[in-house]
Every structure is written in structure tokens, then in C-alpha cells.
Copies of this chain bind each other. A is one copy, B any other.
């Protein structure tokens, strides 16, 4: 029986089923961060996430600096997903022995750049050699702080709350698609029947936009902090979209014991994703619902406060906030409302890091 026979979440549940609990641990395994109480003014948040060569990135499709930036960004996003403030990072590298030193310098420069952007200090780490054919792994633990009473989790969504999302989920998956499926030429061409075929290169600036979303996602730290300041009575649940909107919505529903309906017509498709979707002949709904690595925030708001929350985030940060659905009773499950008003169960196709 191999680990690849289990999905990531089943495996984590299996490994952590008998962990001890303690009053210092306000939240352990199962949310974006652990929440720890060290009798300080603030609570301590702790999270870790890895980026593995060939699984999460390749040196062919991203620059060393971009790889370094993203390795920290995915952790910053976990702190953002609790409404916390990132503070200290520990960087652990598993290094193939023949890894290029200038490339490693570039990765580290990207890490430091991202750390500076988010006022985070790299305070420690480790370097372990691995074999010649090993894959580079960048494993980062990020520590943050959060005010008592202002930590947002996955577990507080109520029936009737409005489901909201920041930014334009799906752009990252569209960017990945363009990297995995480049078009052959920049010239349009005629097919055998004399009809114009689709263009053979993705258009700029849409291409740059979606590739940037994939290579250097912008963790929504400030947005998360603003949501947390409003408190859990107003913003009832929060997480970041790392596995895909559908898969991460499942986490909110499971933890909050609710269901949800997402309205397709309300989803915030960016102009760029629509352009790329036409050129790739691909349904952008699949990218937006099931594409991973957006690192946008998905959250629920009590309906009376929706306008205030939207205005606050958008006016303070410039980041769009879009209401995309409603929280339902758990018995309703996850639903997708189409523009013609028919409803289907929402398929959940989470990014499974173990199957890569």
C-alpha cells in the first residue's frame, strides 16, 4: 500500500489521528495555521509548506527569483488566511548535490525579496544534501502573530452568510495551462478549408497577467488583517485558495458543518482569463473552480455587513471582493447555480499534491 493510494487530506488525517491536545494549542492540525498561546500579548501562528522541484515548480517555467518568492508567498498566504501578521521564517533546503549555486543564490534572493515586501525576517534554517538525482525542496516554516479574539478560522460559517472571494481565482491555473500547453507560433493561420484558425500564440497582456498570477502570487496579507480586525461576528470564516475554490470551499463546509451554493454568473472572471480561455479553447469555469494555487482569500460574511466589508477591503487595498454564493444547510451539500437557474452538485476536483 503506497502513499499515492491516499489523497493528501486522507493521509494527513491518518497520520495525525492520535495527536495529543493541550490548552496552549488553541488550534492544531486542520486549519491554515496552528494557533498557539504563549501567554504573550498576541497569539502565535505557525505554518509550514514546501515547494518541490518538478511538482510545484520547474526551472524551465519559472526564474529562480520567482521560485524563491513563491516558496515564501504560499506560507505568507497561510498567515493571511487566519488574519495574522507574518513575522519570522525558517528556510529548510533539501539540495541535490549538483544543484547550481547561482540558481540557488537566485532562489534565495527571491525569498529575501518576498520577505522584505511583507516585513518578515528569515531567522533560521537548514541545508541538507541529497543525491545527484534528487529534487530540490524548499520547506518553509512561517511564524506570525494575531490579536486575541481576532483569529479567523474555517469553522464559523453560518447558514445565510455570503461567500466572498478576493481577486480573480482561476488566473493562476490559466497561467499554468499556458506554460504546459504553449501555442506553436505567433502567427494566425488558415486551416485546410480556408477558415481562420485560432491564433497560435496567447495574447499579451493577458498572457503576462495569468503567468504572473501563477509564478508570483500575491499573498493577501493586508486583506486578511482587515478582515480579522472586523472580528469573527462579521467575517465568520476565512481561508486561502491553495487547492482550488471548490476544494477549499469543502474545507469551510466540513469545518463549519454547512453547505454552500456558488453562482456561476457571479464568479469574477478576469478579462485575461477570458482571453486565454478562448485562445486555449478551454472552459475558464474549470480553472476558476478547480485550479489550485490562487492564494486568494475565500471567506464568509454575515449579510448585513457585506457592503461594509467590500468597501473596506476595496478602498483600503484596491483588491476586488466579489460575493459568489451563499452558505446553506449541510444537507444541501455543495451546489453550483448556472445562469439558466439550473442547479447541479458542484464537482470537487482538488489539486492533489500526492498524485503529481
Chain A residues within CB distance 8 Å of chain B: 1-6, 8, 11-12, 14-16, 18-22, 24-25, 28-29, 33-34, 36, 38-42, 44, 46-52, 54-56, 87-88, 90, 92, 94-102, 104-105, 108, 112, 115-116, 121-131, 133-135, 137, 139, 141, 143, 145, 352-356
Say which residue of B41, B55, B101, B116 sits within 8 Å of A129 (CB atoms).
B55
B19 A122 Cβ-Cβ under 8 A: yes
A–B pairs, 5, beta carbons within 8 Å: A3-B97, A46-B88, A127-B354, A128-B353, A137-B137
Which of chain B's residues have a CB closer than 8 A to the CB of A105?
Answer: 14-15
Bound together, the chains give a CA A3 to CA B108 distance in angstroms of: 13
Known: A19-B121, A34-B90. A5 touches B101 (CB 8 A): yes
Q: What residues on B are CB-neighbors of A108 within 8 Å?
A: 15
Contact A46 B128 (CB under 8 A): no
**A41, A47, A115, A121, most chain B CB atoms within 10 A:** A121
Known A-B contacts A4-B98, A97-B3; A135 and B125 likewise in contact (beta carbons under 8 Å): no
- State whether A4 and B48 are in contact (beta carbons under 8 Å apart), knowing that A38-B40, A54-B130, A130-B137 are contacts in the complex: no
A127 and B94 in contact (CB under 8 A), knowing A88-B34, A99-B2, A101-B3?
Answer: no
Q: How many copies does the complex hold?
A: 2
Cα A52 to Cα B130 in complex, Å, equals 7
Shortest Cβ gap from A10 to chain B (Å): 10
Q: Which residues on the B side are within 8 Å of A41 (C-beta)?
A: 38-40
Chain B residues with Cβ below 8 Å from A38 are 38, 40-42, 44, 145
CB contacts (< 8 Å) of A101 on chain B: these are 1-3, 5-6, 14
| Whole-angstrom CA separation of A93 from B349 in the bound complex | 23
Instruction: Give the contacting residue for A12; candidates B4, B49, B127; CB below 8 A.
Output: B127
Q: In the complex, given contacts A15-B125, A52-B94, what are 15 additional A-B residue pairs having Cβ atoms less than 8 angstroms apart?
A: A2-B99, A3-B97, A3-B99, A4-B97, A4-B98, A8-B129, A19-B122, A22-B121, A39-B41, A44-B143, A49-B92, A55-B128, A128-B137, A129-B356, A131-B135
Residue of B nearest to A99 (CB): B3
Q: Chain B contacts of A95 at CB under 8 A?
A: 3, 354
State the CA gap A87–B143 with chains docked (Å). 14
A151 to nearest B CB, angstroms?
14
With A50-B94, A127-B12 known as contacts, the answer to whether A19 contacts B112 (CB < 8 A) is yes
Q: Are B1 and A102 in contact (CB under 8 A)?
A: yes
How distant is the Cα of A100 from the Cα of B2 in the complex, in angstroms?
5
Chain B nearest CB, measured from A133 CB (Å): 7
